């Protein structure tokens, strides 16, 4: 098991158990008086849940407590966990933890619980001279994307469709420049500088669950941050 890229063997620890629970769903609706059927609104997808037990060993209890304390410092903010027996990376937000002493002084167990979700590895797709593709994404959440558009020649009102409810329009981009529309950071940049004024969009680009028909022009790249359960498949 790794946390933020660090093997927990560093703390003389190992994963005992990992109980991953899928996300829960909640429908919003309103049933008006005299209406034949209720009016349905969007379905809310809650985070999943993880119960984790970690086994520590050391020379004595003081040694173990120091190691466990250092281990716990990984959870002061959202962390990335690679769990033994599971594919992908779990993005976790700690909710509870407790310590369980064993009869043997050189042994300790830490029990933790997290709200969170799994993601697969980033998927990078490059379009060069292609104007359309279809994607099939499985999972439970929209997938934020990083879209890079490189201009071989000056672009005006360059339109990308299929990455959200509305089109993304790059109003102007000089030849040789690349605009980065990053849904993961919430930034739009050219050469690292703010470029929100160059792009017309209501929301940042995402891949929806299921099949998406995507259209653009050419010379842009999509990096997909994919929810667990599957991959994004590009069909050219």
Report if pTM > 0.85. no
What is the pLDDT at residue 76?
93
Q: How many CB atoms lie within 10 A of CB 65?
A: 14
Q: Are 219 and 160 in contact (CB under 8 A)?
A: no
172: pLDDT strictly greater than 70 = yes
Q: Where in the chain is the domain with CATH 2.40.30.200?
A: 2-25+42-119
Residue 69: in which H helix or E strand, if any?
helix 61-72
Was domain 2-25+42-119 assigned CATH 2.40.30.200? yes
112: pLDDT strictly greater than 90 = yes
Would the CA dihedral through 130, 124, 197, 204 be positive or negative? positive
12: pLDDT strictly greater than 90 = yes
Among 196, 224, 207, which Cα is nearest to 126's? 224
Calculate mean pLDDT across residues 73-87: 93
What is the pLDDT at residue 140?
62
Considering only 9-13, 39-43, 118-122, 179-183, which range has the smallest mean pLDDT?
Answer: 118-122
Residue 71: in which H helix or E strand, if any?
helix 61-72
What is the pLDDT at residue 224?
40
49: pLDDT strictly greater than 60 = yes
Give the pLDDT band (50/70/90) at residue 236. Answer: very low
32: pLDDT strictly greater than 60 = yes
| Class of domain 123-235 (CATH, top level) | mainly beta
Q: Where in the chain is the domain with CATH 2.60.120.860?
A: 123-235
Q: b/e per residue, 207-235, with b = 16+ CB within 10 A? A: bbbeebebebbebbbbbbbbbbbeebebe
d(CA 32, CA 38): 7
Give the pLDDT band (50/70/90) at residue 154. Answer: confident
């Amino acid at each position: 098991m790794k946390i933020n890229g660090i093997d927990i063997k560093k703390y003389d620890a190992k994963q005992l158990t990992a109980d991953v629970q899928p996300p829960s769903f909640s429908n919003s609706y309103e049933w008006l008086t005299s209406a034949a059927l209720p009016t349905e609104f969007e379905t809310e997808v809650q985070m999943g849940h993880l119960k984790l037990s970690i086994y520590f060993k050391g020379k004595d209890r003081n040694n173990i407590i120091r190691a466990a304390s250092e281990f716990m410092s990984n959870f002061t903010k959202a962390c990335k966990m690679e769990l033994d027996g599971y594919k992908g990376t779990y993005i976790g937000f700690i909710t509870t933890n407790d310590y369980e002493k064993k009869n043997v002084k050189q042994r300790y167990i830490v029990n933790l619980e997290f709200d969170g979700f799994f993601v697969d590895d980033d998927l990078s797709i490059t379009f060069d001279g292609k104007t359309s593709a279809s994607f099939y994404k499985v999972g439970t959440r929209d997938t934020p994307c990083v879209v890079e558009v490189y201009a071989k020649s000056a672009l005006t009102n360059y339109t990308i469709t299929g990455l959200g409810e509305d089109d993304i329009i790059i109003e102007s981009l000089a030849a040789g420049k690349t605009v980065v529309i990053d849904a993961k950071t919430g930034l739009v940049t050219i050469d690292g500088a703010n470029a929100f004024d160059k792009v017309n969009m209501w929301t940042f680009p995402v891949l929806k669950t299921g099949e998406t028909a995507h259209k653009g022009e050419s010379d842009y790249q999509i990096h997909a941050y994919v929810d667990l359960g599957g991959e994004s498949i590009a069909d050219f």
